[in-house]
Amino acid sequence: MIDFELGEVQARFADIVWENEPVGSGELVKLCQQQLNWKKPTTYTVLRKLCEKGIFQNENGTVTSLISREDFYSAKSERFVEETFQGSLPAFVAAFMSRKSLSDEEANEIQRMIDAYRQGQ
């Protein structure tokens, strides 16, 4: 089972992997040095933790994802709605809209998604 809880640092690291995969572990060390100013042990520690969470794998020095970025965040969002709003997407949207208004462009985009969903049924 995948652990969907990522701290800020783990999320930044995950983005580097997703953007560059498949990536050799040596290359990943270089990328993390450049982008996060990390040393080699830090990179390997965070990689090991995210492999333990079921997000990545490191086989024969090549790091790849076990779940895509899109699937990860989609599942994380679904889990949030399930846990916080008893699975009710309308309740989530109502709570969101009570604190933030939608622009016309955002409302139109949401409507297009709903229309596309209905046409696909």
Query: pLDDT for 27-63, tens place per residue?
Result: 999 999 999 999 999 999 999 999 999 999 999 999 9
The pTM (predicted TM-score) of the whole model is 0.78
Rounded to 5°, the CA angle 99-71-89 comes to 35
How far apart (Å, rounded) are the C-alpha atoms in residues 75 and 69?
10
12 with 65, same domain?
A: yes
The answer to whether 2 and 53 are in contact (CB under 8 A) is yes
Percent of the chain with pLDDT over 90: 87
Residue 121 pLDDT level (bands cut at 50, 70, 90): low
Which two three-digit tokens encode residue 74? 């989609």
Sheet-wide strand order for 62-65: 23-24, 62-65, 56-59
- Looking at the fold, whether 94 and 60 belong to one and the same domain comes out as no
pLDDT at 3: 80
- How many domains does the chain fold into? 2
Average pLDDT estimate for 93-105: 90
- Residue 23 predicted with pLDDT over 70: yes
Rounded distance between C-alpha atoms, residue 79 and residue 58, angstroms? 26
22 and 64 in one domain? Answer: yes
Which structural domain range is residue 114 located in? 88-121
Q: Are residues 102 and 58 in the same domain?
A: no
